Amino acid sequence: MIGGGGNAFIGPIHLKAALMEGEIELVCGCFSRTYDTSLATGRKWHLDESRIYADWQEMLRKEASLPDGERMDFVAIVTPNHMHYPQAALALELGFDVVVDKPMTWSLDEALRLQTLVQRTGRTLALTHVYAAYPALREMRSRIARGDLGTLRRVYVEYTQGWLSQRIELCGGNKAGWRTDPRTSGKGGCLGDIGVHAWHLSEYATGLKVTEVCAELSTFADGRPIDDDCAAFLHYEKGVKGILHATQIAVGEENDIRLRVFGEHGGLVWSQLEPNTLLLRHDDRPTEVLRIGNGYPWLAEETRARTRLPGGHPEGFIESFANIYRNFALTVRARMNGVEPDPLWLDFPTVDDGVRGMQFIETMVASANSDGKWTPWVYAPL
Amino acid sequence: MIGGGGNAFIGPIHLKAALMEGEIELVCGCFSRTYDTSLATGRKWHLDESRIYADWQEMLRKEASLPDGERMDFVAIVTPNHMHYPQAALALELGFDVVVDKPMTWSLDEALRLQTLVQRTGRTLALTHVYAAYPALREMRSRIARGDLGTLRRVYVEYTQGWLSQRIELCGGNKAGWRTDPRTSGKGGCLGDIGVHAWHLSEYATGLKVTEVCAELSTFADGRPIDDDCAAFLHYEKGVKGILHATQIAVGEENDIRLRVFGEHGGLVWSQLEPNTLLLRHDDRPTEVLRIGNGYPWLAEETRARTRLPGGHPEGFIESFANIYRNFALTVRARMNGVEPDPLWLDFPTVDDGVRGMQFIETMVASANSDGKWTPWVYAPL
Amino acid sequence: MIGGGGNAFIGPIHLKAALMEGEIELVCGCFSRTYDTSLATGRKWHLDESRIYADWQEMLRKEASLPDGERMDFVAIVTPNHMHYPQAALALELGFDVVVDKPMTWSLDEALRLQTLVQRTGRTLALTHVYAAYPALREMRSRIARGDLGTLRRVYVEYTQGWLSQRIELCGGNKAGWRTDPRTSGKGGCLGDIGVHAWHLSEYATGLKVTEVCAELSTFADGRPIDDDCAAFLHYEKGVKGILHATQIAVGEENDIRLRVFGEHGGLVWSQLEPNTLLLRHDDRPTEVLRIGNGYPWLAEETRARTRLPGGHPEGFIESFANIYRNFALTVRARMNGVEPDPLWLDFPTVDDGVRGMQFIETMVASANSDGKWTPWVYAPL
Amino acid sequence: MIGGGGNAFIGPIHLKAALMEGEIELVCGCFSRTYDTSLATGRKWHLDESRIYADWQEMLRKEASLPDGERMDFVAIVTPNHMHYPQAALALELGFDVVVDKPMTWSLDEALRLQTLVQRTGRTLALTHVYAAYPALREMRSRIARGDLGTLRRVYVEYTQGWLSQRIELCGGNKAGWRTDPRTSGKGGCLGDIGVHAWHLSEYATGLKVTEVCAELSTFADGRPIDDDCAAFLHYEKGVKGILHATQIAVGEENDIRLRVFGEHGGLVWSQLEPNTLLLRHDDRPTEVLRIGNGYPWLAEETRARTRLPGGHPEGFIESFANIYRNFALTVRARMNGVEPDPLWLDFPTVDDGVRGMQFIETMVASANSDGKWTPWVYAPL
Encoded amino acid at D350, one letter? T
pLDDT at D358 over 70: yes
Say if residue B355's pLDDT is above 80.
yes
Q: Which residue has the higher pLDDT, B295 or C231?
A: C231
pLDDT at A163: 96
Mean pLDDT score of chain A: 96
Cα–Cα distance between A168 and A172 in angstroms, integer?
A: 8
Average pLDDT (D173-179) is: 85
State the pLDDT confidence band at A5, using cuts at 50, 70 and 90. Answer: confident
Q: What's the confidence (pLDDT) of residue A10?
A: 86
pLDDT at residue A382 in the model: 62
Report the interhelical angle of D10-20 vs D317-336 (nearest 10°): 60
* CB pair distance less than 8 Å for A149 and B251: yes
Q: Which chains does chain A touch, 3 or more C-beta pairs < 8 A?
A: B, C, D
Contacts of C9 in chain B (CB under 8 A): 310
Is this prediction's pTM over 0.90? yes
Number of cross-chain residue pairs from A and D with Cβ atoms under 8 Å apart: 106
Residue A290: which of C279, C286, C298 has the nearest Cβ? C286
Residues of chain D whose beta carbon is less than 8 angstroms from a beta carbon of chain C are 149, 153-154, 156, 158, 162, 165-166, 214, 216, 218, 220, 229, 231, 233, 241, 243, 245, 247, 249-253, 260, 262-267, 281-283, 287, 371-374
pLDDT at B208 over 90: yes
Strand order in the sheet with A74-77: A74-77, A97-100, A125-127
pLDDT at position A9 is: 81
Average pLDDT value for residue range C58-69 = 95
Measured between beta carbons, which residues in chain C are less than 8 angstroms from residue B47?
none
- Using an 8 Å CB-CB cutoff, list chain A residues near B229: 154, 241
Print the SS3 string covering chain D. Answer: CECCCCCCCHHHHHHHHHHHCCCCCCCCEECCCCHHHHHHHHHHCCCCHHHECCCHHHHHHHHHHCCCCCCCCEEEECCCHHHHHHHHHHHHHCCCEEEECCCCCCCHHHHHHHHHHHHHHCCCEEECCHHHHCHHHHHHHHHHHCCCCCCEEEEEEEEECCCCCCCHHHHCCCCHHHHCCHHHHCCCCHHHHHHHHHHHHHHHHHCCCEEEEEEEEECCCCCCCCCCEEEEEEEEHHHCEEEEEEECCCCCCCCEEEEEEEECCEEEEEECCCCCEEEEEECCCCEEEEECCCCCCCCCHHHHCCCCCCCCCCCCHHHHHHHHHHHHHHHHHHHHCCCCCCHHHHCCCCHHHHHHHHHHHHHHHHHHHCCCCCEECCCCCC
Q: What is the pLDDT of residue D198?
A: 98
Is residue B381 exposed (0-12), middle (13-18) or buried (19+ Cβ within 10 Å)?
middle
pLDDT (tens digit per residue) in C138-166: 999 999 999 999 999 999 999 999 999 99
Average pLDDT over residues C216-241: 98
**pLDDT of A32 above 90:** yes
Indicate if the pLDDT at residue D59 is higher than 70. Answer: yes
User: How much is the mean pLDDT over chain B?
Assistant: 96
- Give the least confident one: A135-149, B165-179, C266-280, D77-91: B165-179
Condensed to tens digits (0 to 9), the pLDDT of residues C248-301 reads 999 999 999 999 999 999 999 999 999 999 999 999 999 999 999 988 999 999
Partners of chain B (3+ Cβ pairs below 8 A): A, C, D
Residue B381 above 90 pLDDT?
no
Q: Do B287 and D285 touch (CB under 8 A)?
A: no
Q: Summarize pLDDT for D120-151 with one digit per residue, the tens.
A: 999 999 999 999 999 999 999 999 999 999 99
**Cβ separation C250–D265 shorter than 8 A:** no
C218 pLDDT higher than 80: yes
Mean pLDDT score of chain C: 96
Specify the amino acid at residue C251: V
Q: Does residue B382 register a pLDDT over 70? A: no
Query: How large is the average pLDDT for residues B233-238?
Result: 98
Region C176-191: mean pLDDT is 94
Looking at residue C173, what is its pLDDT?
Answer: 73
Q: What is the pLDDT of residue B8?
A: 79
By C-alpha distance, the chain C residue nearest D155 is: C250
Q: Which residues of C touch A (CB under 8 A)?
A: 279-280, 285-291, 296, 298
Flag the least confident range among A365-379, C31-45, D4-18. Answer: D4-18
For range B250-274, the mean pLDDT: 98
**Which other chains touch chain C, taking contact as 3+ CB pairs less than 8 Å apart?**
A, B, D
Q: What is the mean pLDDT of residues D75-91?
A: 97
The closest CB to that of D247, out of C154, C264, C281, belongs to C154
| Model confidence band, residue B175 (pLDDT cutoffs 50, 70, 90) | confident
% of chain A residues with pLDDT over 90: 94
Tell me the mean pLDDT in the region D28-46: 94
Q: How many CB atoms lie within 10 A of CB C121?
A: 18
Q: Give C-chain residues touching A291 at CB under 8 angstroms.
A: 286-287
CA count, 13 A, side-chain hemisphere, D93: 11
Nearest CA in chain C to D163: C283
Contacts of A153 in chain B (CB under 8 A): 220, 249
Q: Give the pLDDT of residue C382.
A: 62
pLDDT score, position C6: 82
Query: What is the percent of chain C where pLDDT is above 70?
Result: 100
Nearest CA among B296, B163, B283 for reference residue B221: B163
Contacts of C45 in chain B (CB under 8 A): 22
pLDDT of residue D65: 96
Chain A: nearest CA to D309, how far in angstroms?
Answer: 8
Does the beta-carbon distance from D288 to B287 stay under 8 Å?
Answer: yes
Say yes or no for a CB contact (<8 Å) between B315 and C318: yes
**Which residues of chain B neighbour C255 with C-beta distances below 8 Å?**
310-313
Q: What's the confidence (pLDDT) of residue B108?
A: 97
**What is the reported pLDDT for D9?**
81
Q: What pLDDT score does D382 carry?
A: 62
